[in-house]
A and B are shown apart, each in its own frame.
Chain A
Amino acid sequence: MRSILTVYRKELSDHFSSNKFLILLALIYIAGLSSTYVALQNIREAASSINTNVFLYLFTTGGDVLPAFITFISFFVPIIGIIFGFDAINSEKNSGNLSRLLSQPIYRDSVINGKFLAGITTLTIIITSIVIIISGIGLFAIGVPPNADEILRLIFFIFICVIYGGFWMGLAILFSVIMEKTAASILTAIAIWIFFMFFLPIIANAIANAMAPLPENASIAMQIRNFNIEHAISRISPSTLFTEAIVVLLLPVGGQLYFRPVLQEELSRMILNPLSIGQSMIQVWPQLVAITALAIICFALSYVIFMRQEIRST
């Protein structure tokens, strides 16, 4: 256990003193503070019809130019995960450190576990710090303190972000175990992220339109079928699962509508009541389990491959 802690401390110290950490932190803070500014401009209008969970609107309200904080975060969390994982193992191999490190009296898994834990800790610190900063600014600006329900939602939000970042970090570590060159591992991880983030929705839409075309006078049943196909295919992507989870969690009023097709006339007759934290968690439970499982699968794969890899002397 001490060896894991030793590797963990060293990796953590490396992350905090690295330029990539400072750059990512700066980017996240700039994005977070900009979206908070926009949210503060628009929060009165957004919260005018509903007077519950106003505090959470700081994180979900966007403007015409800048999107909401949750949009930024769904963009940045994978990048942070990839950046802190893509060179975890292959950089050690390339620098000739791995064989020296593993010749010390430590178990081999201490290296990969320590690195993963340090990456997760760094990610947690980055996300938590920006959430606290936004909360502090919001508290000062709108004068409405968060209630227990909102605090719990924000804690779960951080938790889901960390699990989601853990998935991308696990994937990046997997590539760092498999691939010799750090450039190859980062490019592969980023290519997969781009595919899930930008191309899969396009592909899902194309497949849905091919399987359930929508003519001008499409019936409601056809529209629902088209929506369901597109939604089912989109859910292959961890990005979609993450977006669904955080939207439902941070939008207690109406967030659940994100999951299913809602007709205009249906919407006009709806009386929207906020979901309790328990109900929101039940709604996002499948997404959360799926993201957690993906993170575990990626890390377990990299763990097993790393443990079985032949260590060369250089």
Chain B
Amino acid sequence: MSENNNIIVASKLSKKYNEHLVVDDFNLTIKKGEIFGLLGPNGAGKSTIILMTLGLTEPTSGSITVGGFNSTREALKVKRITGYLPERVGFYDDLSAKNNLSYTAELNNIPYREIPKKIDEALEMVALTKNKNQLVKTFSKGMKQRLGIADVLIKDPQVIIFDEPTEGLDVKVANQILQTILDLNKKKNITFLLSSHQLNLMQRVCPKVGILSKGKLITEGSVESLGRNMLGGGKYRIELELEKVTGVLVEKLKKLDKVLSVTRSGNQLQIMSDKDIRQDISRFIAAEGVLLTRMDMKQDALEEIYLKYFKEE
């Protein structure tokens, strides 16, 4: 096991399928207890990186370690401490939730006498205790996703890798899943690597993200720092429409506390900030005697970062 605080370390990782480079010189470090979001469009190489992390496919060059174990050479040790939930999680439909989890527990060499307790604990974590003896074929997609989380919890993992955890789920269920991720991270200090293209949902749980394009990690960091670096603004984007905009007004707005940048487009202004400063802005505008016709705020800086990058590309 590694002695430092890094739990996943990818170094110069590359993967070629025939002559097609899918992952290109990928470097990444994830610390213990972190929730890291790997973002990118379809075909960016997210799933291939996950498969290499689990030792399910070999890198063409470079290496990746999980908990200090090399994923290629020590795949079993990696899989012992890593739980993986694929995008379309599958279970044996004709078995009950309990029997599916029992199979996973046996594959993980958990002593037979401990299995019932482990199953009960895992199902309780995902609020499926009542459905323990129900056949999986009667489960909804959301229930299956929760069962998937219970399935990875059986082995007491240090790391959980989720491929598109909220894909195809309604907002309520997606939020439940994200809340479970946050709870597990808090209670058990489990490190999460989430891969998704549902940016607004990822933003809620991932303090750190990496954006992947054509197999390359093009940027990485906290959502705020990425916003600052790429958009010249913060997490909050406040849009204003005024009756009349002057250069003096814009300069005065720029000097307001917590304002990071102001962009003008005709009578419309876009203010980037690290805080919700709508009250301060409306007070200032009123004091300047200008009529405010519209004010909106968006907190989707991650989506902005993402779109900006892929637009520029």
Contact = CB atoms under 8 A, between A and B. Distances in A.
B103 interface: yes
A103 B82 contact: yes
A147 interface: no
A6 B107 contact: yes
Contact of A96 (B80, B90, B94, B104): B90
Contacts of A98: 90
A92 B90 CA distance: 8
Given A3-B107, A103-B84, A104-B104, A95 B90 contact: yes
Interface stretch (A167-175, A207-215, A292-300, A305-313): A305-313
A309 to B, nearest CB: 10
Contact of A313 (B86, B92, B94, B109): B86
B28 interface: no
A278 interface: no
Contacts of B91: 95, 97, 100
Interface in A1-45: 2-3, 6-7, 10, 14, 17
B54 interface: yes
B137 to A, nearest CB: 11
B79 interface: yes
Contacts of B151: 100
Interface in B34-67: 47, 50-51, 54, 56-57
A14 B94 CA distance: 9
Nearest to A3: B107
A217 interface: no
Given A10-B103, A100-B86, A105-B109, A312 B47 contact: yes
A106 B51 contact: no
Instruction: Tell me whether chain B's interface is mostly helix, strand or loop, or mixed.
Output: mixed
B92 A97 contact: yes
Contacts of B83: 103
Interface in A72-120: 92, 95-107
A115 to B, nearest CB: 13
B82 A6 contact: no
B80 A103 contact: no
B45 to A, nearest CB: 12
Nearest to B77: A105
A176 to B, nearest CB: 16
A313 B47 contact: yes
B71 to A, nearest CB: 12
Interface in B199-221: none
A98 B89 CA distance: 10
Contact of B50 (A2, A17, A97, A313): A313
B24 interface: no
B54 A103 contact: yes
Nearest to B17: A310
Contacts of A97: 90-92
18 contacts: A2-B109, A17-B94, A92-B90, A97-B92, A99-B84, A100-B84, A100-B148, A103-B82, A104-B79, A104-B107, A105-B77, A105-B109, A106-B79, A310-B17, A312-B47, A313-B51, A314-B86, A314-B88
Interface of B: 17, 47, 50-51, 54, 56-57, 76-77, 79-80, 82-94, 103-104, 106-109, 148, 151, 155, 163
Interface of A: 2-3, 6-7, 10, 14, 17, 92, 95-107, 310-314
Given A100-B85, A103-B82, 4 more contacts: A99-B86, A100-B89, A100-B91, A103-B54
Q: Kindly list the 5 A-B residue pairs having the minimum CB-CB distance in the complex, ordered from nearest.
A: A96-B90, A103-B84, A97-B90, A104-B107, A105-B79
